[in-house]
């Protein structure tokens, strides 16, 4: 079953970035928690939401009109909102749960927002803003939107206030913080969030499953291979831990933690030799 879930995720992301169906790829993340998840049913729900937006727009297709209709359907009519009370609930990271429960975190609400917008012909881009995912429209003017806060349009001053709240004045707003990121980068950020949640809970089995998807997403990423190896180590899967940590050391021989991890690998090898 795990191999099948990996195959579905691989099929969703191992294609050129501009051909990735972001909604389907996000739902593929949730298959580890929901093996029998019916992705088509949830994608059909996005189609229904888009149809409601089109009906409300009544043929008008200007960006502000479509954004207003999108906000009305998602936040006023359907009641989608940010989960401020239980931000680190893993369900906030699963798009199917977000669709059904109408609650989520910035990145999953942004994926929902972007995917409904795409279906009505409004191209929006994901923005990996520090500590708080946003989306933006880029046309004759740039419109920055916060789906976690009912689709509010954010000014530069408001973005600085957001940074001040997150980083206590240590980060200054710069326009390049609004650079769009790729579909694979969005999926990576979703997975990073989920891995951190599971690690914080001490659920290393589920954190490892997320780490495996991160390696599928970028098989040459030394940090992702290292992190998977360290999770194998936590779970006492020593051969797999050694393989991943040795691969990391080959890929990043000059990394700051290379000496420490090299010693750890040698210790693991000696331990394995004693066991055998």
The tens digit of pLDDT for each residue in 88-109 reads: 999 999 999 999 999 999 999 9
- The 10s digit of each residue's pLDDT in 137-175 is 998 899 999 999 999 999 999 999 999 999 998 999 999
Is 157 a domain residue?
A: yes
Q: Write the CA distances from 130 to 62, 165, 167, 224, integer angstroms.
A: 29, 11, 9, 20
pLDDT (tens, 9 = 90+) of the chain, 276 residues, equals 568 888 999 999 999 999 999 999 999 999 989 999 999 999 999 999 999 999 999 999 999 999 999 999 999 999 999 999 999 999 999 999 999 999 999 999 999 999 999 999 999 999 999 999 999 999 889 999 999 999 999 999 999 999 999 999 899 999 999 999 999 999 999 999 999 999 999 999 999 999 999 999 999 999 999 999 999 999 999 999 999 999 999 999 999 999 999 999 999 988 877 765
pLDDT attached to residue 276: 57
Here the tokens at position 224 are: 């992702």
Copy the structure tokens of residue 241. Answer: 């831990």
| pLDDT score, position 35 | 93
Q: Which of 144, 178, 212 is the last residue of a domain?
A: 178
Q: Which of 126, 160, 178 finishes a domain? A: 178
- State the residue range of the domain holding 268: 220-275
Q: What confidence score (pLDDT) does residue 4 get?
A: 85
Grouping H, G, I as helix, E, B as strand and the rest as coil, residue 25 is helix
Task: Write out the two tokens for 5.
Answer: 């879930």
Q: Are residues 153 and 77 in the same domain?
A: yes
Q: Is 134 helix (H, G, I), strand (E, B) or coil?
A: strand
In a domain, 240, yes or no: yes
Residue in the block written with tokens 């419109």: 143
Total domain count, the chain = 2
Helices (H), 203-257: 204-217, 222-234, 238-251
Is 14 found in the same domain as 126?
yes
Q: Which long-range contacts (CB under 8 A, 24 or more apart) does 105-108 make?
A: 105/133, 105/148, 105/193, 106/82, 106/132, 106/133, 106/134, 106/146, 106/147, 106/148, 107/133, 107/186, 107/189, 107/190, 107/193, 108/26, 108/190
Residue 165 sits in the same domain as residue 105: yes
Identify any residues that bridge with 103 across adjacent strands, giving them in sequence order: 81
Structure tokens at 52: 């409601």
Task: For residues 154 and 239, state if they share a domain.
Answer: no
């Amino acid at each position: 079953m795990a191999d099948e879930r990996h195959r579905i995720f691989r099929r969703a992301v191992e294609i050129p970035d501009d051909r990735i169906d972001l909604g389907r790829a996000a739902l593929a993340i949730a298959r580890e928690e929901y093996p029998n998840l019916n992705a088509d049913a949830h994608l059909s729900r996005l189609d229904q939401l888009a149809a409601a937006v089109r009906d409300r727009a009544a043929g008008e297709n200007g960006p502000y009109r479509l954004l207003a209709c999108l906000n009305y359907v998602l936040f006023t009519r359907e009641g989608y909102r940010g989960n401020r009370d239980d931000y680190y609930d893993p369900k906030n990271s699963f798009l199917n749960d977000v669709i059904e429960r109408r609650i989520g975190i910035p990145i999953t609400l942004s994926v929902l927002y972007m995917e409904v917008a795409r279906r009505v012909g409004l191209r929006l881009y994901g923005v990996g803003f520090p500590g708080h995912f946003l989306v933006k429209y880029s046309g004759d003017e740039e419109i920055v939107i916060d789906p976690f806060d009912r689709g509010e349009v954010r000014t530069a001053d408001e973005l600085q206030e957001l940074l001040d709240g997150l980083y206590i004045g240590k980060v200054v707003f710069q326009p390049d913080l609004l650079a769009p990121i790729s579909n694979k980068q969005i999926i990576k950020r979703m997975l990073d969030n989920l891995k951190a949640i599971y690690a914080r809970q001490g659920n290393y089995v589920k954190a490892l499953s997320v780490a495996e998807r991160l390696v599928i997403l970028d098989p040459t990423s030394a940090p992702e291979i290292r992190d998977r190896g360290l999770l194998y180590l936590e779970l006492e899967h020593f051969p797999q831990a050694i393989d991943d940590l040795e691969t990391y050391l080959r890929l990043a021989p000059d990394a700051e933690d290379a000496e420490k991890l090299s010693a750890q690998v040698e210790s693991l090898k000696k331990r394995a030799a004693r066991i055998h």
